[in-house]
Structure 1
């Protein structure tokens, strides 16, 4: 591993996105709590520091978790204002006493029995997606798994689990475009006309969601039904903006991150000689390997917190209100916790000790669903297409946003 100056880290650079490990190692070793002038955030890169922060929601607040990185331009603000775009405190950005109620809704939808019961449905969705992959391979000789299998399966699964499929009147292409635009708008560095164009897509998404949650008499047991029945601690019903914010977050967080996870896993498995074929022959090997990919290459690479009072982290004094960037991907490669972290070792004793799904009060509600989807997708895809190989035409570009990293293309062909 080559040493690099800590000051040279650019979290949005394509070079960093392709190979962030040297920069993360330099930060952990030399400056584990570093102020980043490009983002205005304090970078926290060591495992123990991040773990302690996640487990201390009283002193490290989640209020800034989904804020835009920088200030929007006036034209962008006007676009968002036209649809009354608002993301009030609900799930990831909620440190108040109302968080527990929102969390219970998610737990009921994604608890272990619900995930186990969903396996046949997920297998059916994956089989249908693989039919599409095979059609594309037959017609074109190549297929991009990142924009077909890895994208479509999480969308279809999420809509069915949330019982939204009958209420959704737009296609996956539209939902994906809206979600991509929202990620880049809030976690990227768009400027000028690009920022305004992304805002238009995010606004269209939000307006559609507002109409969706406004529909009368949603079915009990569905997400919309649960939101309609939910009461805040003061007894008040949820407003339209609160319901829209929950669904906005669930579609993006529940689908896009799983899409990015599956794209990364497919690319890694295809790059490792013989691994794809091994999974076809030994499907039980998929689950432990999946855990290691989550440790080393999590789809959510960072997450944010803000200090609620003056604190000291790794010897650095931080004032109240200091915005922090918890480098989740860096913690998975911390040699103080994981021996030989650059190697994927599926049967390491602490294979599930990573922080890729967060920890504590705000741990990802869909963690077990994501694990199950990854297992089903990898098992079924390798079994059905055991001779699949990565095309030499696969572009190396990565999604390079503040908190999200994944291959933009996984072009495959038959071997």
Structure 2
């Protein structure tokens, strides 16, 4: 069945479409293949988890990735202005400075014989700091944002057991409470940051929080994952940064799959699907173009250009370091329905023969 244009995977509970041309066609037909399930929890939320989220008014109404309605266009246009080509190009010096500082610190530690996790020491924070700068957001606890982001991805795209799901729900509720606080502040004092722009669109508090919730996650955590995968591929060898970025996007993007649901009975490559059929699209690793990793059509990733720039700059800044180190363990992986990357990359210098 692996060669079928669309095959039903009993374990996943989705019709899986790996052919790049068919995945592209599905994304270009949002009326038939709707994005309504794009941010639904892969593992249904327990009653206890739902109570935790409900207590803070947690809601994810249709806004960006999960919106096929009329409100999608104005919300997308407002957010897209933060990621214009000119603004992306202008942020390269900041990106280079943030990464270079961390690379220098890492090289000093390695020279002293220390082990180092390249994910936490280099890849983790620069994408978040760059995103916050671009969105005009200040006084944000970046380690907290990273923790919120990772936990939210696991909650919505992982398979946590009941106890773990409850832990993750508390973290998501904490994040959402912070988003509500920022939204309330933007209503009382007009600003030109992300929250101020969304308030000016006359969105509800729930819509504003929904936009910010996934934008603040996807806009930086997936880039950290992209950089981490690129770092892993470049250990101990010379490379051309831009080529590696495109290679990773083609073969092992941090977002390997995405979801759709049929609005009515539909056909994919001659395979008939019923109405309300959940579809899982393979975006990377199946011979398609690098650009497919960011989607296509009205829901194409707004941060595609920024992600490419940040990954390229990270590789350029870390080139000497990457050529001089080796792994000390097989990297544990983030392995969620739609997100995959090394969780950590523990390394020592290649001249260091001790793994302790």
- RMSD, aligned α-carbons: 1.7
TM-score, normalised to structure 2, is 0.93
1:229 aligns with 200
Query: Cα distance 1:145–1:62, how it changes in 2: closer, same or farther (>3 A)?
Result: same
Q: Note the alpha carbon deviations across 1:225-258, whole angstroms, 9 max, x for none.
A: 211211xxxxxx1111111111111111111110
Q: What is the TM-score normalised by the length of structure 1?
A: 0.80
Aligned equivalent of 1:395, options 313, 330, 340 = 330
Determine the structure 2 residue equivalent to 1:274. 237
Instruction: List structure 1 runs of 4+ shifted beyond 4 angstroms.
Output: none
Q: Which residue of 2 aligns with 1:306?
A: 261
**How many residues are aligned here?**
348
Match of 2:96 among 114, 117, 123: 123
Matched, 1:51 2:14: no
Shift in Å, 1:73: 1.2
Shift of 1:387: 4.4
The 5-angstrom pairing of residues 4-15 of structure 1 reads: none
Alignment of 1:221-370 (within 5 A): 222-230=193-201, 237-270=202-235, 274-275=237-238, 279=239, 285-329=240-284, 332-334=285-287, 352=290, 354-370=291-307
**Retained in 1: the 8 A contact 2:230–2:244?**
no
1:34 positional shift: 1.3
Distance 1:85 1:138 in 2: 47
**3-state DSSP of counterpart to 1:356:** helix
Partner of 2:177 in structure 1? 207
Gaps of 5+ in 1: 1-5, 7-26, 231-236, 280-284, 338-350
The CA deviation string for residues 173-209 of structure 1, in whole angstroms up to 9 with x for no partner, is: 2211111111111101111211101111111111111
Q: Is contact 1:185–1:195 with CA below 8 Å preserved after alignment?
A: yes
Aligned twin of 2:353: none
Tell whether the 8 Å contact from 2:33 to 2:261 is kept in structure 1 after alignment.
yes
Out of 160, 165, 169, which is 1:195 matched to? 165
1:265-297, CA deviations, whole angstroms, 9 ceiling, x for partnerless residues?
000011xx532xxx4xxxxx2112211111000
How far apart in 2 are the matches of 1:140 and 1:205?
38
Q: CA 1:242–1:135 in structure 2 vs 1: closer, same or farther (change >3 Å)?
A: farther
Query: Which secondary structure does the structure 2 equivalent of 1:303 belong to?
Result: strand
The Cα shift of 1:167 comes to 3.6
Q: Where does structure 2 lack aligned partners over 5 or more consecutive residues?
A: 351-356
